[in-house]
Structure 1
Amino acid sequence: MAAVLTAVSEPQLAATVDSAKQLLRPENLDSLDLIESRYTPMRQSLLSLYQALDFQPVRRSEPALAALEYVSDLAERRKRVTAREQKIGRVKMIAPLGHLTERWRKHALQGDEISPNYYEAAAFEVLKGRVRSGDIAVGGSRRYRAFEGYLLPAPHFEHLTQKSQTRLAVSNEAEAYLADKQREILERLVALQESIGKVEGSLCLDEKGHLYLPPLEKEIPAEVERMRPRAYGMLPPVKLPDLLLELDNWTGFLRPFTHLTSGDAPVGEAKLILVAALMGMGMNLGLTKMEQSCPYTYRQLSWSVDWHIREETLLASLACLDNFVLSAPLSRSWGDGTTSSSDGMRMHVGVKAANAEYNAKYFGAGRGTNIYTHAADIWVPFGKPQVIGTNEEALYAIDALCHHESDLHIREHYTDTGGSTEHVFALASLLGFRFAPRIADALSKKLYLLDEVGEHGPLNTLLFDQVNKKLIIEQWDEMRRVASSIRHGTVSASLLMRKLAAYPRQNQVARALTEMGKLERTVFLLEYFRDAALRRRILIGLNKGEALHALARQLFFGCLGELRDRALEDQIHRASCLHLLVAAVAAWNTIYLTEAFATLRKGGEDIAEATLAHIAPLGWEHINLIGNYHFAPQPGRSLENLRPLRVVESKEGKEATQEVAS
């Protein structure tokens, strides 16, 4: 301070500090403090939107609609909401206030006076949440129907229940389910308590008496590092087009790409054009660049994309490759097709796409999105990839498990922390999948019980709470109807979970699923804390997904590895083509690795099954991904003998040509 005062006088320093305090935002500043000035230019558009759309409340009373009707009535008289009671002519009108939450009230209400901008903005925010959740439907819309409209009709679900055709993994009685969970939780609590410090890999106590999970030790055999390069060194070099066509001879995976109208599979040159189009899309080269690298024109390539490459044909072709790898003898060393994982692959977006978002953690100063993929334990992708936001992974974790069209029988599914919520735990249990995420800081998560079970010994340091079992019992049939609707394909899991997660909670079903998810997560965590083999299995499953991403990034090298499609549908289309190429490389490598291992064993090599389990069919060093460059001398080309320029037709010439053609 003395050094500062030698350079600046004390009155000047005090004045500077006071002026700086005037510029600081208060500590309790809410983002709503900044909204009033930004609402004004959008007001007329929002009101016009409200008046143009047919909002249909599911319940009799909807405070947001009541408030906006009141605003519209006043707007017709060129008035705004400025007080709780307003006299318009001889009529006294009372403003509806039911839509104002505690957060909005401190901005919108000042005694009997009302801030019109905050009043209206609050109504629109509540309307947005109610539309997203399904409490308010939009007439004529498929995406914003009433929540009930997404589910199986109640009479039909009752009929399925009577015939035991709900295709669910839980009993019809909530009491039986809760009794099983209570017994399971008690058994695992006792087992965990007895394993602390005694069972290898289970919870341990540090010197201060705090619980911690010991890290997993590496268990990859040393032989893997020696055998992997030897096996891949034996694989023949191959160009990617030759790989795809050779694989089609084995599997016929190009047959599902039928013509949109005739239903005919591509043959002859049409098949070759299809392969070129798939490579142009899946490698992110684009059809224009692909035209320069192959003997086919842009028109031929785009024709193949338009008439043969569709999401349903891509999914059927991917399922064909998955089944081929699953039936290969070598795949038994990797898994049996019963476990899988989901993870997102962050992709930069190089254009102004509506779904691209800023996220400095993943994209720096740019924008990007997330390709959410599903990987089976046999090192192949399955199901349809989704292009989603970076914080939406939990909404899509279940989608591919129910509808992937392959012979995979997934029973256990892994995700990272971003893909786990209580709703995912609950729906996975209802649908018969074991959900096993890798949860960051798992020891800080609450454990939930149905009833108090007394002392837990060293486990008392964990946080325990109770679930609302009454709510689970009351909403049991509705939760089962939600899950059965997903299983029967009435609605996708991602769409329904988006509705369930919308703010505010639209019905008791969402709360009941949360309570059920708390129970399922507790059962899982009690085993997760005790069983190192489970934690290792989860880690291996997630690492297989990361290995698929590594190959995908090598294939997706066009446009600097950035997505350049503005439309979400085009981005999904490109991601699906990429996944098909990844599966094709894995399938081709599987066959040639089988031959390589057989040759090594004939030569006296002793290759253990544990070694094969860690050698993935995802290598690409032997595959020519960039084509061939041709080098030939160019005689006769000098500054006086340049190549002729291409003819560019003028605008007038184009118009004349079009007129002659017409």
Structure 2
Amino acid sequence: MLNYSKKYAILIAYLVTLSQDLIDQAIEIHDRQMMILQSKGRKTQEEMQRENGKAVNEKVVHFADIGAALIQARDEGLDPFSTIEKVMPWDKIVASVEEAKKLARPMDYDYLDLLENRFTYLRKYTPALLKSLEFRSTKAAEPLLRALKTLNEMNKSGKRKVPDGAPLDFVPKRWEKHVYDEEGIINRHYYEMAALTELKNHIRSGDVSVVGSRLHKDFEDYLVPKDEWTTTNLKETRLAVRSSAEEYLEERRKALAERFTWISNNLDSLEGVNIEKAKLRVDRLEKNTPEDA
């Protein structure tokens, strides 16, 4: 039977592995949810386009007719308003413009404005995600980590309004007009969605690491800690190469010189190899594949 020390060691090893797996699964779920968020926005916009296709086409026809009337009025020196009203009554033009405003999508045809109703769905897990996991980052992603810290503090305190001075440097240009307006008032929903989306992106790029993760840990965690390395007896590292770059390069130079010397001394006895006009020539290998292969 295993003694207690060995049992505990196995149990601890299992729990560490389980913890890593659970953290990685949590990150994978978050990544998937952010992809679903974007996908839902695209699909909603596509559905709107299908539903409003006939009405949008009608407005395009109106625009073309009115535009043609304006061109005619200018070319022939006619009164533009009278010319336009021959094409369409003024009250119908006003009504058409109002309908067009409702049908219009952003000039860049983005769908971020359609995501706000998904915020409640994300809130089912994101507070627990931010509370349970610890993130680290490169310098480039530090504003994002400050934003995540702000959101975590808001979750703990129950505050709904994003505090003044909250980090905004992480917000991509695409999200800016949704996250804050011209007066600097921050939309909580879009602020959080932008931060969570950027968290997904930065974890993928490696700018943000997750403490305790196996797949998304800090690159430095793959290396021997510097303090431990400096106290290691380099002669006992069992590395296949020298620990000093200078020694390694010198060793490679020496090995290369030895090989050149051997080739020089044995060139005449090497089959398929010769030097002509200071150029090394190697004969082409003959095919040894059977004809019926």
Q: Same fold (TM over 0.5)?
A: no
Relative to its length, the structure with more strand (as a share) is 1
Q: TM-score, with normalisation over the residues of structure 1?
A: 0.21
Q: TM-score, with normalisation over the residues of structure 2?
A: 0.44
Relative to its length, the structure with more helix (as a share) is 2
